[in-house]
Chain A
């Protein structure tokens, strides 16, 4: 398995365990990670220890909302009971919502969902302490 590339983000937070939500371009573990949080078409709940896909949520309806897509996606992450969100980039509104629910935000993920799961499990991807892009980033 190739090593996911970690792009330009300082790794500071604690290592994550439990179940995480990963933004994906399709509902499978071998799908590429979608770099956008609110606009990602799929949110995948994955158990870090087993690496198994727990649930795949098709978010295409909400992801095309004129505004507040990241807020809706954050609600979905909370409803799925994840300890962390793993994505490419996260804007300020979604970050504020996730922070309020004490859900860690891990940005900088690339490669496939399975590769990203390994990177989080091994501690190569760790939580961010702030949004890494402004709102309406595409």
Chain B
């Protein structure tokens, strides 16, 4: 089973929840850190990431002798990554998505594909936690596109009984790459106006993907009840509320997972594992039209 732990807003507690779920899993589990622009699950786990391999993306390689300068490759490029200025094409690698259209389009057979390193995957066992493996993806500094590294992390190795994906924040391409095709998505939020606004965006994205979905409210009790009202209205199950706890925050600051700081949380997480294993989460019903305005302003007590 593959479960994505995601959120619209950053800093809601995706990694805290993912690590705590990994530590309370009933069977063998992998934690895949798909937040490749800033992977951080390793900070909360004593993982020995002793294996690694580079993530490569294809880029075109031109044979200047064979190239006739016809410009077909550039015309075929949907990403404007090639400039045909009369001679062999110039490549702008940071714009290239590696789709291979230029190679197919070249009538002279002057283009071939080569690889370009854009990131790294590292993996290893977590000390003292038999059956828990951490897989970490890292985007190379300066690279613009996280998606190829996220896809490589997800394609890595053999799935365990449970694969937990610690996802990147936002609702753009990296979020979709991490969430698409999983068995269930847990959206982590906090009961604040920001938390609600970004939750709505994540919910609408997950709705379009058709993935079974539920919500975990972190720092429950710290804000207001608008997230709860929204979830009720959208028929979104709130799977768990993690209390706003100084003990959990202090543990986090020392690199200790929430579940170790608050033993009461372990029982709740075991319950969440049972809910996931039972497959009781459902996809959100499709909407014919997306909402035209942010809906949280309709709720009582909303800020103007």
Interface Cβ pair total, 8 Å cutoff: 44
Q: Which of B45-90 contact A (CB under 8 A)?
A: 71, 74, 79-87, 90
Query: Are A97 and B80 in contact, CB atoms less than 8 angstroms apart?
Result: no
Query: Are A100 and B90 in contact, CB atoms less than 8 angstroms apart?
Result: yes
Residue in A65, A69, A71 whose beta carbon sits within 8 Å of that of B92 in the complex:
A71
CB within 8 Å for A67 and B80 given contacts A75-B74, A93-B92: yes
Q: Please encode chain A, from 36 to 67, with 1 for each CB lying within 8 Å of some chain B CB and 0 for all others.
A: 00000000000000000000000000000101
Query: Are B81 and A68 in contact, CB atoms less than 8 angstroms apart?
Result: yes
Known A-B contacts: A74-B83, A78-B85, A100-B87. Give 10 more (CB < 8 A): A67-B95, A68-B92, A71-B81, A74-B85, A75-B84, A75-B85, A93-B92, A93-B95, A96-B90, A97-B83
Residues of A within 8 A of B83 (CB): 71, 74-75, 93, 96-97, 100
Question: Using a Cβ–Cβ cut-off of 8 Å, how many residues does chain B contribute to the interface with A?
Answer: 14
Query: Are A72 and B85 in contact, CB atoms less than 8 angstroms apart?
Result: no
Residues of B within 8 A of A103 (CB): 85
User: Is the contact region of chain B dominated by helix, strand, or loop, or is it mixed?
Assistant: loop
In the bound complex, what is the Cα–Cα distance between A98 and B90 (angstroms)?
Answer: 11
Query: Are B86 and A97 in contact, CB atoms less than 8 angstroms apart?
Result: no
In the bound complex, what is the Cα–Cα distance between A78 and B89 (angstroms)?
Answer: 13
Cβ contacts A to B, 29 pairs, < 8 Å? A65-B80, A67-B80, A67-B95, A68-B80, A69-B80, A71-B81, A71-B82, A71-B83, A72-B80, A74-B83, A74-B85, A75-B71, A75-B74, A75-B83, A75-B84, A75-B85, A78-B84, A78-B86, A93-B95, A96-B83, A96-B90, A97-B85, A97-B90, A98-B85, A100-B85, A100-B87, A100-B90, A101-B86, A103-B85
CB distance from B60 to the nearest CB of A (A): 14
In the bound complex, what is the Cα–Cα distance between A68 and B89 (angstroms)?
Answer: 14
Residues of B within 8 A of A100 (CB): 83, 85, 87, 90
CB distance from A94 to the nearest CB of B (A): 9
Taking CB as reference atom, which chain B residue is nearest A68?
A: B80
In the bound complex, what is the Cα–Cα distance between A72 and B80 (angstroms)?
Answer: 7
Which among A75, A98, A103 has the greatest number of chain B C-beta atoms within 10 A?
Answer: A75
Residues of B within 8 A of A93 (CB): 83, 92, 95
Residues of B within 8 A of A68 (CB): 79-81, 92, 95
Residues of A within 8 A of B81 (CB): 68, 71
Residues of A within 8 A of B90 (CB): 96-97, 100
CB distance from A64 to the nearest CB of B (A): 12
CB distance from B84 to the nearest CB of A (A): 6
Residues of B within 8 A of A98 (CB): 85
In the bound complex, what is the Cα–Cα distance between A75 and B71 (angstroms)?
Answer: 9
Residues of A within 8 A of B74 (CB): 75
Taking CB as reference atom, which chain A residue is nearest B77?
A: A68
Residues of B within 8 A of A74 (CB): 83, 85
Residues of B within 8 A of A72 (CB): 80
CB distance from B26 to the nearest CB of A (A): 45
Q: Please encode chain A, from 104 to 132, with 1 for each CB lying within 8 Å of some chain B CB and 0 for all others.
A: 00000000000000000000000000000
CB distance from B166 to the nearest CB of A (A): 28
Interface pairs A-B: 7 shortest CB-CB: A68-B80, A101-B85, A97-B83, A78-B85, A71-B83, A71-B80, A68-B95
Q: Please encode chain A, from 78 to 98, with 1 for each CB lying within 8 Å of some chain B CB and 0 for all others.
A: 100000000000000100111
In the bound complex, what is the Cα–Cα distance between A12 and B80 (angstroms)?
Answer: 31
Residues of B within 8 A of A67 (CB): 79-80, 95
In the bound complex, what is the Cα–Cα distance between A65 and B84 (angstroms)?
Answer: 17
CB distance from A85 to the nearest CB of B (A): 12
